[in-house]
Amino acid sequence: MFFYRSKQKQNKDSEDRVYSRSQKIWDFASILSLFALLWFLQNAQNVIRHVNYLKVAEDVPPLVMSNGDPYIRALMRTISASESSGKNSYALLYGGDHVHDLSQHPNQCIPIKTNVNKGKCSTASGRYQFLTSTWIEKASKYHPNPSETPNGITYSFEPEYQDIVVYRWLKDHHQWNVDILTLLKKDRVEDALIELSGVWTSLGSGLEDNLMTPFLPKLYRKFLAEELASTSKISGSHMINKIESF
């Protein structure tokens, strides 16, 4: 009987050791699986971001405006990549709908459903997502062709005018704490984007960053290469005259 009980105890101890080893192996495998899952999720997010970058890089159309400094033109395309990527962006309303009448700013206040301004509404419209108040203020300074009507002065919101107003605004160093063009020519793209993020909050201030925000400097350099290549097709003196006269 004693031998039998001793044998039972030995068998139980052996089973306990086997179970303990199995449990340790299982725990270790579970930890490895958790790390593998976290790694996959992180890399999946990076893959999604990269796919979005490639898609946006292909979807951002050239400017309608034909003239201008290539550094500022590339910046304008970068802003629109973050604010209004996709075709027909000049007619884009906040939230994704489009308008057909661009004779003036649409001035439609669309409810905001996410981020810090949830519960308010936004009149952001066009390729550069101009608020109505911002458009009127800047168009009064930079619009080349204001129209007088019985109800006052209006400013066409047609694509070329959106480009011209933004271009002149960005190029006017009195409107900013720094000279944007100088920063761009020194390849200080990140500094330029941060300066502009007070107006376009998706450019890197952290307030309303999106999936494209980390890629904006890379996008800018891609667009700049395209703009410089485009200007190189035009004779040097002719292009300089076009830039300086704009």
Of 59, 75, 96, the one marking the end of a domain is 59
Of 44, 59, 74, the one marking the end of a domain is 59
Q: Are 132 and 105 in contact (CB under 8 A)?
A: yes
Note the pLDDT of residue 2: 47
Question: Among residues 178, 175, 151, 152, which one has the least CA distance to residue 165?
Answer: 175
Domain housing 114: 60-245
Does residue 8 register a pLDDT over 70?
Answer: no
Note the pLDDT of residue 161: 99
Q: Are residues 120 and 4 in the same domain?
A: no
Q: Which amino acid is at 155?
A: Y
Least confident of 11-25, 76-90, 149-163: 11-25
CA dihedral 200, 67, 164, 110 (to 10 degrees): -50
Query: Per the confidence metrics, is the pTM higher than 0.95?
Result: no
CATH number at residue 115: 1.10.530.10
Half-sphere exposure of 198 (CA within 13 A, CB side): 6
Q: Are residues 127 and 222 in the same domain?
A: yes
Q: Are residues 69 and 143 in the same domain?
A: yes
Does residue 10 register a pLDDT over 70?
Answer: no
Q: Higher model confidence: residue 20 or residue 117?
A: 117
Cβ neighbours around 243 below 10 Å, total: 15
In tens, the pLDDT along 91-128 reads 999 999 999 999 999 999 999 988 778 889 999 999 99
Note the pLDDT of residue 228: 96
Dig out the tokens for 244 from the structure. Answer: 């300086």
Q: Are residues 204 and 116 in the same domain?
A: yes
In the block, tokens 């997502």 appear at 129
Q: Are 101 and 107 in contact (CB under 8 A)?
A: no
Does residue 7 register a pLDDT over 70?
Answer: no
For residues 85 and 88, give the distance between their C-alpha atoms in angstroms, rounded to a whole number: 9
Dig out the tokens for 91 from the structure. Answer: 């007619």
Dig out the tokens for 124 from the structure. Answer: 């952001």
In tens, the pLDDT along 47-57 reads 455 455 555 56
For residues 152 and 221, give the distance between their C-alpha atoms in angstroms, rounded to a whole number: 42
| DSSP for residue 112 | P
Q: Are residues 83 and 3 in the same domain?
A: no
Q: Are residues 47 and 89 in the same domain?
A: no
Strand 121-122 to strand 110-111: parallel, antiparallel, or no bridges (unpaired)?
antiparallel
Q: Are residues 156 and 80 in the same domain?
A: yes
Q: Are residues 1 and 93 in the same domain?
A: no
Q: Are residues 122 and 231 in the same domain?
A: yes
Q: Are 112 and 120 in contact (CB under 8 A)?
A: yes
Q: Higher model confidence: residue 45 or residue 78?
A: 78
Q: Are residues 134 and 212 in the same domain?
A: yes
DSSP secondary structure of 71-97: HHHHHHHHHHHHHS-STTGGGBBTTS-
In tens, the pLDDT along 165-185 reads 999 999 999 999 999 999 999
Half-sphere exposure of 230 (CA within 13 A, CB side): 16
Note the pLDDT of residue 46: 47
In the block, tokens 């519960």 appear at 119
Note the pLDDT of residue 171: 98
Of 59, 83, 98, the one marking the end of a domain is 59
Query: Mapping DSSP to helix (H, G, I), strand (E, B) and coil, where does residue 228 land?
Result: helix
Q: Are residues 50 and 124 in the same domain?
A: no
If you average pLDDT over every residue of the chain, what do you get?
84
Q: Are residues 217 and 232 in the same domain?
A: yes
In tens, the pLDDT along 182-209 reads 999 999 999 999 999 999 988 987 667 6
Q: What percent of the chain has pLDDT over 90?
A: 58
Does residue 154 register a pLDDT over 90?
Answer: yes
DSSP secondary structure of 185-211: HTT-HHHHHHHHTTTSTTSSSSSS--T
Total domain count, the chain: 2
